[in-house]
């Protein structure tokens, strides 16, 4: 399979990708996964190095990027801001310029989306958004790979996102129209996606002739859904609001009752970590419709494809 390189040097947002590029990443993900399962050698990043900047803690992002680079023949370097000059006031622009002299790519997982944009602006090497408060593009690519595995297609499917209008929801709202999926979001008032995200997603959906619904009713969102998706009610940095959010999100749990609104062959997704008994019931998470651990595994394969397409030659 030919490796079609992406039109931009960075992956900061799902908005950086068009439909063909998303399809290319998914195809390369499948190819890389097939080679990995068959223990075939595939080292497109031999001798290449990735710096990984973390200001937000991580399980899946850290492990999948680090082991992914190793499996592609490269090396990954973990950079904690407290151990680097970023934590002592060096500007992001200067950090970007210096790291560009040492590394072949940077992955950053942080709070402010503007930090990633600035890093990408000043770095001469590819920058990958491993998560910000605004977006989580790598997660959504892994999600689309998982859906393609289970449903064989993406076009025309309906995804119902139940819960907080957060970074994962934002990236999903940008991605769904690009792959011709319909989307419904159910969030309590005060927790709906931001207006600028909704406006852009609505514009994309209109152009793609797909549906984009925002409602306060989980049942309405889940009606005839092919995929039900949820995430934690309080993201990193929102722990102080946890008890308040538990009350306000109480009727937004993905449970056996809500699944009755969806299609019989609906799959259930969660980007993890999950708080069982809050946003998802243990019965659904461990049930036959759950694909959450396949989804977690696909972070590895999808990110290896992203790394290969951005950093490979």
Q: Which positions are catalytic?
A: 109, 136, 139, 231, 271, 299
End-to-end CA distance of the chain: 14
Edge-to-edge strand list for the sheet holding 267-270: 212-215, 182-186, 158-162, 227-230, 267-270
The answer to whether the beta carbons of residues 56 and 111 sit under 8 Å apart is yes
Residue 94, C-beta contacts closer than 8 angstroms, at least 6 positions apart: 122
């Amino acid at each position: 399979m030919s490796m079609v390189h992406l039109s931009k040097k960075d992956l900061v947002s799902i908005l950086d990708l068009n439909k063909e590029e998303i399809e290319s990443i998914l195809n390369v993900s499948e190819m890389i996964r097939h080679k990995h399962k068959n223990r075939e050698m595939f080292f497109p990043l031999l001798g290449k190095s990735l710096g990984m900047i973390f200001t937000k803690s991580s399980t899946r992002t850290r492990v999948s990027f680090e082991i992914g680079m190793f499996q592609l023949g490269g090396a990954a370097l973990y950079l904690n801001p407290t151990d680097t000059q970023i934590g002592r006031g060096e500007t992001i622009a200067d950090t970007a310029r210096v790291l560009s002299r040492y590394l072949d790519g940077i992955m950053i997982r942080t709070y402010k989306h503007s930090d990633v944009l600035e890093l990408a602006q000043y770095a001469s090497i590819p920058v990958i958004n491993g998560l910000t408060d605004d977006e989580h593009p790598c997660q959504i690519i892994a999600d689309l790979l998982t859906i393609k595995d289970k449903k064989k297609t993406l076009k025309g499917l309906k995804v119902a996102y139940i819960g907080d209008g957060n970074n994962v929801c934002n990236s999903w709202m940008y991605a769904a129209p690009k792959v011709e999926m319909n989307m419904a979001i159910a969030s309590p008032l005060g927790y709906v996606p931001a207006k600028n995200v909704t406006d852009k997603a609505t514009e994309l959906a209109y152009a793609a002739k797909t549906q984009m619904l925002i409602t306060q009713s989980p049942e309405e969102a889940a009606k005839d859904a092919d995929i039900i998706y949820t995430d934690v009610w309080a993201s990193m940095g929102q722990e102080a609001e946890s008890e308040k959010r538990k009350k306000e999100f109480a009727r937004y749990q993905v449970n056996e009752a809500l699944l009755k609104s969806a299609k019989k062959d609906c799959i259930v997704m969660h980007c993890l970590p999950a708080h069982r008994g809050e946003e998802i019931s243990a019965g659904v998470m461990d049930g036959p419709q759950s694909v959450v651990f396949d989804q977690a595994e696909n972070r590895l394969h999808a990110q290896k494809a992203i790394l290969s397409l951005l950093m490979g030659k």
